[in-house]
Amino acid sequence: MRFILILSLLFFFNISKSQPIKILIGNSSSEVEDYYKTLFSKKNNPYYITERTVSDDGDLILTASFALDDESFYKCIGTKCFFRRGNGIEKCYAQIVWGLKQYAYDHLEFIKDKFKYKEKNKWIFPYLDPDIESKYELSAEYFPKEDDSFVILYLISKKKQQ
């Protein structure tokens, strides 16, 4: 639980202010829904809603999608958060952001500033806490598509023992 708290604080204070769509890893489902409402209120479109679905494993998925006309404002067409339950609270462990390639630069510029390059189209977040860094890895991975779109995946995962 200490890991989730540190991760949440880290993202709230260090990362979220300078990016088109905030990275929501470590946030609870209610925090993500509140953030989506904040995003929706910026354009005041009554058709914007948070879609709640469930994965095949029974885990919650929250999605925010935007109109194509608003993509230049949000720098994406949508974002989706995947949750796992632990200690009675659902926390986001994965997030995807997608849109047209012309808006990928804003996201990639942020990733390249805050994350450490690992390999082609993949970066790792350098944690401030060595205890967390030794056990978990937060990655950002960019997937350019042939149809001039992009997907970025943020994922927190346990490191494989070597």
Going by C-alpha positions, the residue among 101, 103, 90, 111 that lies closest to residue 153 is: 111
Interval 26-30 mean pLDDT: 92
Among the listed ranges 14-23, 25-34, 55-64, which one has the minimum average pLDDT value? 14-23
Q: Is the pLDDT of residue 26 over 60?
A: yes
Band of the pLDDT at 87, cuts 50, 70, 90? confident
Q: What is the pLDDT of residue 43?
A: 85
| 15 three-state secondary structure | helix
Local confidence band at 6 (pLDDT 50, 70, 90 cut-offs): very low
Report the chain's mean pLDDT, rounded to a whole number.
84
